[in-house]
């Protein structure tokens, strides 16, 4: 019996037979790789020749597509025999001079094995078996389906389907791992999945929880700051309430019973921001400071002012995405140089900072604005300032 052929499509495309392998990097042309992958994926269906032409030459009008395809098939047959052995007819000729992958060849594709593992895990009621099956599936998913060909129309829906299966399996596996106290494994799975889907907050909540289980409060805080900055930069939004509440809960329960108040003081002092610098925090923390400080200012009759700084184009529109990050960092440095240690600042949106300043008069707040304007100048962009007493 001929050796089984294994095909990898969840990662670098390759076809293996025993110790012999034909990889994407060894195939001479992109068209030839596309044709081979297409024939294998469609091996159980009848494919119209027009469909093959549209896959290989989507934006070209050929006078003789049938001749071009025959030439490509010939070259691919030669390559398969040279790379995998000449004792098999890999590509067969059907009626009307159409072509198909030989259905008699014993072949196994990683994406079908991947899906079978997931389906078996979904159907199982045994936690250990589910962990084992999901782990095998997730391990097979090295990259998106035919990732190097993701722009091709025939690949897109298939890639989306398997990506969705992977996302679901990775989350289920991470949750099972966390419940079974395999926190490091759950973290590794969630981090890998987040590389493929960086804006999925449910994955980031799993990461936060895994860090907490590993007693890594520093990483919980660090990752929450990362999420907050990422969502603001990419979508202009704050984390969802579920994420905020989880963060609060995890940072609260991380504090173990302590009998020495001096140790608590040392821990708190170690978390203070740099000497002489104002506090920059996320907006959720800013709102808590606002609530506390406003109530304090009200009782002590000390005024405070909110200042909103917004960068925009000269026409008042949002700047191009590729320059926002650099410009906002420049603005941040200008703010740090102009406000005091007991003032508070936060990123309000991808193009805005909000400040809470403890100052005696609005004139003082206007002076802060003027100082920031003096440091933060740009010929292409403008910064607008709004000030209101609290």
The tens digit of pLDDT for each residue in 223-266 reads 998 998 898 888 888 899 999 999 988 887 555 555 566 665 66
Per-residue model confidence as pLDDT tens digits over 47-104? 888 888 889 888 776 677 888 899 999 999 999 999 999 888 999 888 777 899 998 8
Q: Are 103 and 44 in contact (CB under 8 A)?
A: yes
Rounded Cα distance between 26 and 14, Å, is 9
Higher pLDDT, 320 or 243: 243
DSSP E strands, the chain: 5-8, 14-17, 20-23, 91-93, 99-101, 107-109, 279-281, 305-313, 344-349, 352-357, 381-389
Residues of the chain with CATH 1.10.10.10: 5-105
Please state the rounded mean pLDDT for residues 10-15. 92
CATH 1.25.40.10 positions along the chain are: 110-253
Main-chain phi, psi angles of 381, to 5 degrees:
-115, 170
Average the pLDDT over 94-121 and give the result: 91
- Domain 279-389 fold is Alpha-Beta Plaits (3.30.70)
| More confident: 370 or 60 | 370
Q: Where in the chain is the domain with CATH 3.30.70.270?
A: 279-389
- At residue 268, the pLDDT reads 55
**Which residues, including other chains, have CB under 8 Å from residue 147's CB and lie 6 or more apart?**
11, 159
Closest residue by Cα to residue 213 from 175, 182, 244, 255: 182
Architecture of domain 5-105: Orthogonal Bundle (1.10)
- Supply the pLDDT for residue 32: 92
pLDDT of residue 300: 54
Structure confidence at residue 222 as a pLDDT band (50, 70, 90): very high
pLDDT, position 337: 86
**Looking at residues 311-336, what average pLDDT do you find?**
86
Higher pLDDT, 252 or 119: 119
At residue 265, the pLDDT reads 66
Share of the chain above pLDDT 70, in %: 89
pLDDT of residue 191: 97
> Could you tell me which residue, 65 or 270, shows the higher pLDDT?
65
Average pLDDT score, the chain: 86
Can you tell me the distance from the alpha carbon of 207 to that of 350, in angstroms, rounded to the nearest whole number?
24
Question: What interhelical angle do 156-179 and 110-123 show, nearest 10?
Answer: 40
Which tens digits make up the pLDDT trace of 277-287? Answer: 677 888 878 88
pLDDT at 62: 66
Query: For 363-384, what is the mean pLDDT?
Result: 82
Q: Which CATH number fits domain 110-253: 1.10.3720.10, 3.30.360.10, 3.30.450.40, 1.25.40.10?
A: 1.25.40.10
pLDDT for the residue numbered 297: 57
């Amino acid at each position: 019996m001929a050796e089984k052929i294994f095909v990898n499509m969840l990662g670098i495309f390759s076809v293996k037979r025993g110790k012999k392998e034909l990889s994407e990097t060894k195939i001479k042309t992109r068209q030839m790789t596309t044709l081979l992958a297409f024939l294998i994926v469609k091996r159980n269906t009848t494919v119209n020749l027009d469909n093959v032409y549209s896959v290989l030459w989507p934006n070209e009008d050929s006078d003789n597509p049938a001749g071009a395809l025959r030439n490509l098939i010939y070259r691919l047959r030669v390559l398969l025999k040279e790379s995998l052995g000449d004792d098999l007819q890999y590509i067969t000729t059907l009626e009307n001079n159409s072509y198909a992958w030989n259905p008699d060849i014993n072949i196994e594709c990683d994406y079908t094995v991947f899906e079978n593992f997931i389906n078996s895990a979904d159907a199982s009621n045994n936690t250990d078996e589910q962990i084992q099956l999901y782990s095998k599936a997730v391990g097979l998913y090295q990259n998106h389906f035919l990732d190097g060909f993701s722009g091709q129309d025939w690949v897109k829906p298939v890639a989306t389907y398997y990506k969705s299966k992977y996302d679901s399996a990775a989350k289920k596996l991470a949750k099972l791992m966390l419940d079974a106290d395999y926190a490091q494994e759950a973290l590794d799975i969630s981090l890998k999945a987040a590389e493929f889907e960086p804006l999925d907050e449910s994955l980031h909540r799993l990461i936060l929880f895994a860090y907490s289980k590993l007693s890594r409060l520093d990483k919980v805080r660090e990752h929450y700051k990362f999420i907050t900055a990422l969502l603001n930069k990419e979508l202009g939004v704050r984390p969802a309430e579920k994420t905020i509440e989880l963060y609060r809960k995890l940072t609260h329960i991380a504090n173990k019973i302590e009998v020495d108040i001096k140790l608590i003081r040392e821990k708190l002092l170690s978390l203070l921001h740099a000497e002489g610098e104002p506090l920059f925090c996320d907006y959720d923390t800013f709102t808590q400071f606002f609530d506390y400080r406003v109530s304090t200012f009200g009782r002590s009759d000390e005024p405070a002012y909110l200042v909103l700084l917004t960068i925009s184009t000269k026409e008042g529109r949002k700047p191009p995405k590729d320059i926002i990050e650099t410009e906002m960092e420049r603005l941040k440095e200008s703010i740090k140089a102009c406000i005091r240690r007991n003032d508070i600042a936060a990123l309000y949106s991808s193009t805005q900072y909000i400040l809470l300043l403890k100052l005696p008069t609005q004139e003082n707040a206007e002076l802060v604005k003027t100082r920031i304007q003096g440091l933060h100048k740009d010929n292409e962009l403008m910064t607008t300032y709004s000030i209101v007493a609290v």
